[in-house]
Structure 1
Amino acid sequence: MSVETPQAQAPQSPESPVEQPQPSRWGGALREMMASNATVIVFAIVGALLMAAVLIAAANSEVQRTAGYIFARPSDFFSAVWNSVSSAYSSLFRGAVYDPQANTFARQFKPITETLTAATPLIFAGLGLGVGFRSGIFNIGAQGQVILGAVVSAFFGFAFSLPLGLHLLVAVLGGALAGGLWAGIAGFLKARFGANEVIVTIMLNSIAGFLMSYLLTTQAFMRPGSNNPVSQRVYDTAMFPSLMGDNFRLHWGFILALVAAYGVWWLMERSTLGFKFRAVGFNPDAARTAGIKVERMYLYVMLLAGGLAGMGGVSQTLGTEGVLQEGVAGNIGFDAITVALLGRSKPVGIIGAAILFGALRAGSPLMQTASGTPIDIVQVVQALVVLLIAAPPLVRAIFRLPVPVKENAA
């Protein structure tokens, strides 16, 4: 009698394919979104605000008082922390975006216009620096280029009397040309003699600042009958028209900044010259081998970058200030470096970063007066944003964000 024995199952060949569980379509899309650079930037900003909240609470007198008996009544301490942080950030929002406590409808929406006004020169200067960064030139001389743009545009604005429209055009072009030529000095020295653009632009920043201080003491610039370092007032024919009426400071320079951003995008992404800029920035040796005149590109990049940065100074003198005075450029050129880095040197990112910094600048006065928060906290927030943006792995580790998956080369 035969007994049937079960057949032994053949071992699986190691070469046979093993089906792996495939992630769902929505899960894959969510992972890609969380691993994107945009998500890292958003979480970097959130992280900077959270870190700054610790400083806001530590500087508050009520928090310091309740910390003395935190173990007896911890609720008082945490309530004081919440009140200090929420008051500071709500005041920042009211001063930068929307103020529901204002008396009129116009005043309620005025904060967002102040944010866009403060962002306008940052957009111009950030675009100039972004072009340089993508072309392999670390131009940190935007401050000097902003100053030269402000000086020349203001001079054309009050020294000449021209018809409406033509006067504004001449003053704008004069300021942009001044900024471009000032940056062109560094571009020429780099192209002709191989000079380091970082050192040259640092020196040009100092020269521009002292030059403006000197010019404000001359008869050509000083206001008649005044010993203060303030120029004559720019004629109304050379001022940017208001974008929303006389009750708002937002002017047409903001629209011009958006047009410039589109122009930079088209130049860098769609034009032959922009391709050469990017090729030089990616690998100058390979670009030179391909027949691109690298030294000439360096000069062109600096002329363009300086012209855009000079427009930042133009927007100050012909848009908001109406005069040339000490501090008209503020820290626009230096903040623009942060804006360009935060925006990844891309026009859309630069616009977003400029609006963020404009919001911090516009909302900080109300944050200081309404909540008693030191205005230096805003500078801390900006510094923390830069610190976290410069270290994406740190942001991913803090917020447990996935690492982007690199596609295998075919």
Structure 2
Amino acid sequence: MKKRLLCFITLLTATISAVTLTNNVKAATKWNTSKSVTKEENGIKYSAYLTEDGKESWIYRIKLSRKLTKLKLPEEINQAKLTRVGYGEELYGEGHDSYENVFGDTIEPWHGCYGTLSNDDKNKRAIQQIVFPNTVNQIEAATFTGMTKLKKLEIPKQITKVPAYAFAKCTSLTKITFAKNMKSISSNAFLHSNKVKTFYCPKSNQTFAVRKGILTTKSGKTLVLVPNRMKKITIPSCVKIIRKKALNGSQATSIIIPKSVKKIEKKALEAKKITKISLSSKNKVYKMKHNCIYRKSDGLLVAVLVKTKKINIPSKIKVIDDTVSVMGKIGTRNEVHIPKSVKKVVEYWMFYGDATIYFHGMKPPVIESQYDGNEFTALPIYNSVYVPKKAKKTYIKWAKDRDGLEWHDLHTF
């Protein structure tokens, strides 16, 4: 009986696995990427793939042979309705470290490469408007990056996701209307599109809303994204959470944080041009001192406003990690003074490679890394470092024990 039961369970497991594998294969082979089809009209060549059933098309490349101010995408390719646009993830191959826009330009934001001076440059840069058919429901990462003359954008109503760098470096873009079905947006979707002053979102959208030009969740409890050109940011009093990198690319010079805010996520306030920040004294979770914002409950450093050469981290700070938002510009001329109250630092914790670091504690803080055994990566190995004269040997041992530097050039004060 036990053997029969074991055989039955084994057979059932194998059947479920086979069904799952079959479904995954079907999902993976929805698009026939082994055969490309083309469509040419009005001096534009579209290269596309079709689904296995031939009912949908996906434009992955556009080649322009002339200048045009309006790019109107076709409703179909080879009688297959257009549903997808952009160079998709499955076309890159394993371990890719760059993107391609729909015009074939290489996009590497981490190296300042946005495709503004490459393939079809003169023709691409003349486009001021893109018109999508309502059938489009998917746009790929970096699809329209570097379209420097694009002024107006209305995202297709079937789009649910605006991915990374989708409209980055579109430096003439001023108005963005989101789709009614949009459910998610990357914080860097409009990176360096610095003329975007406000967002528009239809009331029928069930996920997002726009308040004072700022994109929030429908309830208003979460601030999602701030348009880059907005100079003075006043966070609505209904906001409780400021989402990760919500100010990504922001050109704002000032920000007001209300008492309602209970959670500030990773690098949520980071922006290079901010010179003034105001945090409500009635906020129960966060406090501001010496131009630093920290969490009262555990002394976690949340944000630092760089206004002077010398940055004094408050003595209330106990933890510095990689979630810190740096507001303003930081460089080697700046001094960051870490008080003895700081007991723990976490990998890529702060000003990595920038500023001169002063540790004031006789005992170094504990280092944590997201990778076991790689704690040396959390050491300030790319910074000039000063420690108390009497603690020099202690800090050198601290580094050596983590397979870090011998620090022959470690300075003392």
Please tell me whether Structure 1 or Structure 2 has the larger radius of gyration of its CA atoms. 1
- TM-score (ref. length: structure 2): 0.23
Q: Which has the higher contact order (CA 8 A, sep 6+)?
A: 1
Which protein has the bigger helix share? Answer: 1
Which protein has the bigger strand share? Answer: 2
